[in-house]
A and B are shown apart, each in its own frame.
Chain A
Amino acid sequence: EPEVTQTPSHQVTQMGQEVILRCVPISNHLYFYWYRQILGQKVEFLVSFYNNEISEKSEIFDDQFSVERPDGSNFTLKIRSTKLEDSAMYFCASSGIANTKTQYFGPGTRLLVL
């Protein structure tokens, strides 16, 4: 069964450093998303991406965040200058044309900012 994959599974970085989180969405999906989950809390929407542009973003997704689809398979989230409060689990998700509402999540990247 097709699935969303994410790399790395864990990332530790120093405050102020840039990180790039990578995702490979399900191959025939066209809608891509990033969510985050701070430890013990609910999942929060960051951004959605379609047709090579951002279609929705939350208040959390400020200027330090950016997304990119650098090629036909990868979808990335860049955090330019990490802060302690960026420590969280980051999930990528994707949805297809047949049912655009149904989002399939990857296993996540656990980001720890020291």
Chain B
Amino acid sequence: QQQVKQSPQSLIVQKGGISIINCAYENTAFDYFPWYQQFPGKGPALLIAIRPDVSEKKEGRFTISFNKSAKQFSLHIMDSQPGDSATYFCAGNPGRALTFGSGTRLQVQP
């Protein structure tokens, strides 16, 4: 019940394209959903986060779409750039402990 399922495992997108990563959660007590970006050998860096009382949040090229009834949320990266190539993790937490998805390795080709 604590799982967050993330897909796809890997994604290749052309420069300028839209990258879409999807996550689904089971625990309805989750009330905070962040996305983290991780470069090799580095710690996860907070990218954007959403709470379940809104359906969408946009920050620059990054948008989270949230569907509470389906218990799903997704990250959209508009105008994807080679510098966006990294591993992206979705997460959720009802309390303090973040439960992470399995990660999506994004490669943006120039």
B49 within 8 Å of A (CB atoms): yes
B86 within 8 Å of A (CB atoms): no
A6 to chain B: closest residue by CB: B43
Could you tell me how many residues of chain B have their Cβ less than 8 Å away from some Cβ of chain A?
Answer: 22
Counting chain A residues whose Cβ lies within 8 A of the other chain, the interface size class is: 20 to 34
B109 to chain A, nearest CB (A): 22
Secondary structure at chain B's binding surface: helix, strand, loop or mixed?
A: loop
- List A residues 37-71 near B (Cβ within 8 Å): 41-45, 48, 50, 55-56, 58
In the complex, the answer to whether B102 meets A42 with C-beta atoms within 8 Å is yes
Contact pattern, B 13-31, Cβ under 8 Å of A = 1, otherwise 0:
0000000000000000000
Residues of chain B touching chain A, judged by Cβ–Cβ distance below 8 Å, are 32, 34, 36, 41-46, 49, 89, 91, 93, 95-103
Residues of chain A touching chain B, judged by Cβ–Cβ distance below 8 Å, are 4, 31, 33, 35, 41-45, 48, 50, 55-56, 58, 91, 100-108
